[in-house]
Amino acid sequence: MDDASEDENLESSSVYANEAAPVEQAKRKEESNQEPVLTMGPFSCWKSLFFYSCTNVIHFAPIKSQGVEVRAQHGAGCSPRVIYSLATALEIEPLRDLALNDIRSKITPKNLISELFSRFASRHEAIARMQCELMYDKSQLAHWHIIRRDPIWSAPVVSFPE
């Protein structure tokens, strides 16, 4: 098997069985000369996207890895992850940059590793790159004693059925 066909097979296969990233779904629709159909995201995010298109204002909710307490304190808002995915698929760069900056601002030493190894980061190269930059940032490395306490370090890589 030559390298070119191997690369094509890797690109066309989904890491998550029968689940392609929303951006990939939109690209496949474009390649087949059809209008892209986006079926992702909760209503609150679509509502926020519409509001943003009229006002250029958007309110993001805390990310999941910040914990239940933080999310309870901040109330309603839309997921910056969903908005990032939507903005990428719809090619709305200013909104995508807002979501990226919001995600960056919510990454702390306590949730950095969980975010870095999340499914979301694996689907979005810019997010993974930003998180890697944070990981290697000297100020974050000063918090290694906090980062290493993340439960992801003790989780099994692969679990086998008994």
Residue-wise pLDDT for 66-99, tens only, equals 666 665 555 567 889 988 998 888 888 999 999 9
Q: Can you give the pTM of this predicted structure?
A: 0.62
Domain residue ranges of the chain, discontinuous segments joined by +: 40-106, 107-155
**Percent of the chain residues past pLDDT 70, beyond the cut:** 54
Backbone phi and psi for residue 129, each to the nearest 5 degrees, phi listed first = -65, -45
Torsion of CA 121, 123, 125, 128, to 10 degrees: 10
DSSP structural state of residue 102? H
Q: What are the tens digits of pLDDT across the range 106-149?
A: 888 878 888 888 888 889 999 988 888 887 775 656 666 666 66
Residue 5 above 70 pLDDT? no
- Residue 37 is encoded by which pair of tokens? 């159909």
Segment holding 3, helix H or strand E: helix 3-12
User: In this model, does residue 12 exceed pLDDT 50?
Assistant: no
140-158: per-residue pLDDT in tens? 566 666 666 666 666 665 6
Q: Please provide residue 78's backbone torsions phi and psi, each rounded to the nearest 5 degrees.
A: -105, 155
User: For the residues of 8-60, what is the DSSP string, one character each?
Assistant: HHHHHS-SBTTB--HHHHHHHHHHTTS------S-HHHHHHHHHHHHHS---B
